[in-house]
Structure 1
Amino acid sequence: MAMPMDFKTYVDQACKAAEEFVNIYYETMDKRRQALTRLYLDKATLIWNGNVVTGLEALANFFDTLPSSEFQVNMLDCQPVHEQATQAQTTVLVVTSGTVKFDGNRQHYFNQSFLLTAQSTPNNTVWKIASDCFRFQDWASS
């Protein structure tokens, strides 16, 4: 019988996964946006400044409308979500903040929160976005 993982190890693994995910996500957003939907579950939901987008096709269409971007992440926080809240699905809450400049626009501060779920394959574990909430924080620059 396998020993349950101690909480510190669980948190450390969640943080490592979050750091790797954040690097992949923002690099993909800035440089290979057409591949961004591969990071989402089929029925994932994105809330972008209060506008809801659900499903891969809608996400692809939405991302196609965004101008090119340059994201700079200044803060990353993460924590595992208790399995009782996620029906035993391994889930991590990831929160980022930083700045973004979209082509032709001024720089904005942003906050973004992701709920990531672990998807096991025969060879490894892949983290997919179940929920994504993005907000400009323009009040911070006034």
Structure 2
Amino acid sequence: MWKKKWPEDFKTYVDQACRAAEEFVNIYYETMDKRRRALTRLYLDKATLIWNGNVVSGLDALNNFFDALPSSEFQVNMLDCQPVHEQATQSQTTVLVVTSGTVKFDGNKQHYFNQNFLLTAQSTPNNTVWKIASDCFRFQDWAST
């Protein structure tokens, strides 16, 4: 049984997580498509990306990886999210975000994709910023056959 402090109104907690996820997804994919050099600012220093089974860890490796990708046009068709209980994340405020949609790289054919993010809240004196702790991207090409 969980003993940690879920807010009295769990729906409020879920709604806050969903608002954060929606805002994050808009920022992430716009940055990926239009300002890719700034993308690693959305990641924790020791974040891990799994891209179609290939592991990329740390900001330097992420920068190199994103620099090597061709230009993109992402279209998110589905977004889902849920708060992750603090007991499972060492008392970090964490949200699981799941997206799917389509992407075209450098004018090539469209691919279906699925992407999962674990976001953690990083508090500063003035606000809270959500950072990616883990990111898993996978093409879903089987869906187009």
The normalised TM-score by structure 2 is 0.94
Distance 1:5 1:127, change over 3 A: farther
Q: Which runs of 5+ in 1 are unaligned?
A: none
- 1:113 to partner: Cα distance: 0.1
CA distance in 1, matches of 2:116, 2:8: 26
CA distance in 1, matches of 2:59, 2:136: 15
- 1:6 to partner: Cα distance: 1.9
Post-superposition CA distance 1:74-94 (Å, at most 9, x none): 000000000100011000000
Aligned with 1:78: secondary structure? strand
The normalised TM-score by structure 1 is 0.96
- 1:138 to partner: Cα distance: 0.2
CA distance in 2, matches of 1:98, 1:5: 35
CA distance in 1, matches of 2:11, 2:125: 26
Q: How many residues are matched?
A: 139
The equivalent residue for 2:126 is 123
CA distance in 2, matches of 1:37, 1:116: 14
Choose the corresponding residue for 1:41, options 39, 44, 55: 44
Post-superposition CA distance 1:101-125 (Å, at most 9, x none): 0004210000000000000001100
2:13 is aligned with 1:15: no
CA RMSD of aligned residues (A): 0.7
Q: Which runs of 5+ in 2 are unaligned?
A: 1-6
Post-superposition CA distance 1:38-68 (Å, at most 9, x none): 0000000000000000000000000000000
- 1:5 to partner: Cα distance: 4.5
The equivalent residue for 1:114 is 117
Choose the corresponding residue for 2:80, options 77, 80, 104: 77
